[in-house]
Structure 1
Amino acid sequence: MIVTHKKLVDLPSFSQRILAWFDQYGRKDLPWQQCKTAYSVWISEIMLQQTQVTTVIPYYQRFMQRFPDVTSLAEADQDEVLHYWTGLGYYARARNLHKTALTIVTEHAGVFPLDIEQVIALPGIGRSTAAAILSLAHKQHHSILDGNVKRTLGRHAAIEGWPGNKTVESQLWDLADSLTPTKRTDDYNQAMMDMGATLCTRSSPACTRCPVADDCQGFKLGRPTDFPGKKAKKIVPVRATFMVIPQWQNEVLLYKRPPSGIWGGLWGFYQLENLDGLATQAGELGLSEYSLEFLLPFRHTFSHFHLDIQPLLLVMHQAPANTQVQDKQQVWYDLKQPPALGLAAPTQQIMAGLKIN
């Protein structure tokens, strides 16, 4: 049987084919797609940065149940916001959510702004996220360029180079602007995100099911995964730390980390570069009599380095001198009745393995 392909001149426009595919296959039942508001879209878009949909859904549902609107989010303590974010990673996102909620309440009378420049000016919101919020929630005509869209457009036009390069990014923005339709912009932008998430995936694109494969340059060249270009690989450095876990009965001692940097604003264990400082650290914390146990070491990986962690369990023989901690930056955390605090992922992992009486 001879298979004939449409002539390119006979093809519907790029956006028409994308929208036709979306009408049949696009995702329309995700929690944040029901009763869309700028607030709900904003929360989902921030959660979906660097995180897959299946992971986000339960976090989004819990978060929205506790913080159903921007006012409730602004009025909450940052500790509680971080608590509901614990496990999602990239905690600057949660801190920026809280800052933005406060800004919207104090500077915009609690109403999410409709002007894209005002949205971009909010903490933690860039051009693409602002465009997604306003197009999906208010049907405004703005093109988006998240990771999925960069990959789909980069392959379709066979754009060389890493999208993190400003020149390449500008090319992609120009392409996105030229292809985004003035009508059904919301559906088109959702469709482009769905394309990258379900068809035009990073390592195994389903080109035979793609609605725009007929004129996809990456597909024609037989190497779609080469586009767009990848960032040059660097050797990921490895760091090491000791985490000190004083435990008295069912409580462990935590401290609140500085507001910026790794695990900014989260609660975790004190850390040491080497064992030589353990006696000094224990003394400063009022820990005199204890048994030292080396727990199972593990590796925690960040985007730019690996951290090898050796947990040191200090099982107290008697109540430490400062059991009743007055400092708000330090707390004895009850493992049986845990308070609502934002915890660093390694802290959670360590506590999950501790014995509770």
Structure 2
Amino acid sequence: MNELDQLPIPLLQWYHENARVLPWRSDPTPYHVWVSEIMLQQTRVAAVLGYYARFMEALPAVADLAAVEEDRLMKLWQGLGYYNRARNLQKAARQIVEEHGGVFPDTYEAIRALAGVGDYTAGAVASIAFGLPEPAVDGNVLRVVSRLTGDGGDITRPDVKKRMGAALREVIPLDSPGDFNQALMDLGAMVCLPNGEPLCPQCPARGFCSALREGRTAELPVKAAKKARRVEERTVFLIFYQKKVALRRRPAKGLLAGLWEYPNELSPAPCPVEAAGLADGPSGKHIFTHIEWRMASRMVEAASDRLPGGWVWADRDALEREYAVPNAFQAFQAAVEARLGPTETGG
């Protein structure tokens, strides 16, 4: 009997005693599971909880998500990052409305065909919401399987992911596939931790884990090194006129597509408006997947309210309620708010 064959019973027992209490698990409808899984992509659970609650309050059903205006959707997503996830959510919601009569599809293949849904998300929704015996293989699961079986394959390779998914499909319990998948996720998140520091004494698989037995927990899983990020030096212009700040919308495609930003350019850059006053502002840094922005800022008192085409003036209320400014500019938010003053409600 191999290691994975021995896993289901002790894993499920551990899960029933140690499962994380999460809002989408208390009411695992397809919509709830799907939205939560998209939010959790490359984002910590703790960071998602508040966003999930606000999102569900504003958009409680697929039809609401399909119909919401994009700016409103982006504002609900503001701060979660990877904004294409939100756009794909809406594309998929519209697919569900147009192709499935507003009813969430109940087969793996149909779920997988939705915009922004990959193998992992399709497996998670299919197993958790519909009880289908489909594996859900994310980074946590790959780490658990790699250590448990002693598999030295590079987990960034599609063929390795496919092999591990196929192995899990052979052992997934037909009567509790959702619990099994969520148990694997929790085990990776809570016990079989990354960076060579697993909490092996707490693991339900400690008695038959290859990596623990062979002293290889620090070297597994094998993961190819990421390419170095490109560094960009940028100048951010915090432009004020009376009690308003200038914003411009980013292009419809590319990094942070369609979101609002404080105007910025590769350094050095001239001030884009006629200025009555200039001063150095705070600096900041933001790391994207492939690019690192290192930003200096200039505080600009505009000589008039004239702005380039497509730019807008936003007061404190509009900035908080209407315009989705990504976290890349979080380092400048306190300076902007101090200059604009409190909201009309005193915030």
TM more than 0.5? yes
Structure 1 segments unaligned to the other structure (5+ residues): 1-7, 283-287
Report how many residues are paired: 337
Rounded Cα–Cα distance in structure 2 between residues aligned with 1:346 and 1:190: 32
**1:353 matched to 2:335:** yes
Contact 1:143 1:180 in 2 (8 A): yes
SS of the residue aligned with 1:293? strand
The alpha carbon displacement at 1:165 in A equals: 1.2
**Residues of 2 paired with 1:36 and 1:166: CA distance?**
29
- SS of the equivalent of 1:226 reads coil
Structure of greater Rg: 1
Letter in 2 for 1:242: T
Q: Please state if 1:335 is matched with 2:321.
A: no
Structure 1 position 161, deviation (Å): 3.0
Superposition pairs of residues 208-227 of structure 1, within 5 angstroms: 208-227=201-220
Distance change (3 Å), C-alpha of 1:220 and 1:97? same
Cα shift at 1:246? 1.5
Equivalent residues of 1:116, 1:130 under 8 A apart? yes
Partner of 1:129 in structure 2?
A: 121
Change (3 A) 1:260 1:321: closer
Structure 1 runs (4+) greater than 4 angstroms displaced: none
Q: State the AA in 2 paired with 1:352.
A: A
Aligned AA (1:321): R
Among 238, 252, 269, the residue aligned to 1:245: 238
Q: Which residue of 2 aligns with 1:107?
A: 99
Q: Distance in 2 between matches of 1:276 and 1:252?
A: 19
Could you say which residue in structure 2 is the equivalent of 1:185?
177
Number of the residue aligned with 1:158: 150
Give the distance between the partners of 1:12 and 1:181, measured in 2 at CA: 11
Deviations 1:42-92 (A, max 9, x none): 010011111111111111001111111111111111111111111111111
CA distance in 1, matches of 2:136, 2:312: 43
Which residue of the other structure, out of 285, 295, 320, is the alignment partner of 1:309? 295
Q: 1:92 aligns with which of 76, 84, 87?
A: 84
Counterparts of 2:148 and 2:322, CA distance in 1:
47
Alignment match of 1:296 (pick from 268, 282, 286): 282
Superposition deviation, residue 179 in structure 1: 2.2
Aligned equivalents of 2:225 and 2:267: distance in 1? Answer: 33
Local SS of the residue matching 1:224: coil
Q: Are 1:21 and 2:21 matched, yes or no?
A: no
- Measured after TM superposition, the shift of residue 233 of structure 1 is 4.4
Distance across 1 between alignment mates of 2:192 and 2:24? 22
Offset at 1:337?
4.4
Shift, 1:26, TM fit: 1.7
Give the one of 235, 245, 269 matched to 2:228.
235
Q: Does 1:36 align with 2:24?
A: no
SS state at 1:351 partner: helix
Question: What does residue 4 of structure 1 align with?
Answer: none
| Corresponding letter in the other structure for 1:221 | E
Unaligned runs of 5+ in 2: 342-347
Quickly say closer, same or farther: Cα 1:178–1:113, change in 2 above 3 A.
Answer: same
SS class of match (1:290): strand
CA offsets per residue over residues 115-145 of structure 1, 9 Å max, x none? 2111111111001101101211111111110
Encode CA deviations 1:131-160: one digit per residue, 9 max, x unaligned: 101211111111110111111011111111
Alpha carbons 1:153, 1:175 under 8 Å: kept: no
Tell me which of 242, 247, 257 is aligned to 1:254: 247
How far off its partner does 1:217 sit?
0.7
CA distance in 1, matches of 2:112, 2:330: 34
Aligned mates of 2:6, 2:266 — CA distance in 1: 59
Post-superposition Cα deviations, 1:176-197, rounded to whole Å, max 9, x if no partner, equal: 2122121111111111111111
* Per-residue Cα deviation, 1:86-122 (whole angstroms, up to 9, x for no partner): 1111111111111111221122111111121111111
Residue 218 of structure 2 aligns to a residue whose secondary structure is helix
How many angstroms apart in 1 are the aligned matches of 2:120 and 2:226?
Answer: 26
Task: Name the Cα RMSD after superposition.
Answer: 2.1
> In 1, distance between residues paired with 2:150 and 2:219?
8
TM-score scaled by structure 2?
A: 0.91
Compute the TM-score of the two structures, normalised by the length of structure 1: 0.89
Q: 1:34 to 1:276 in 2, by over 3 A?
A: closer
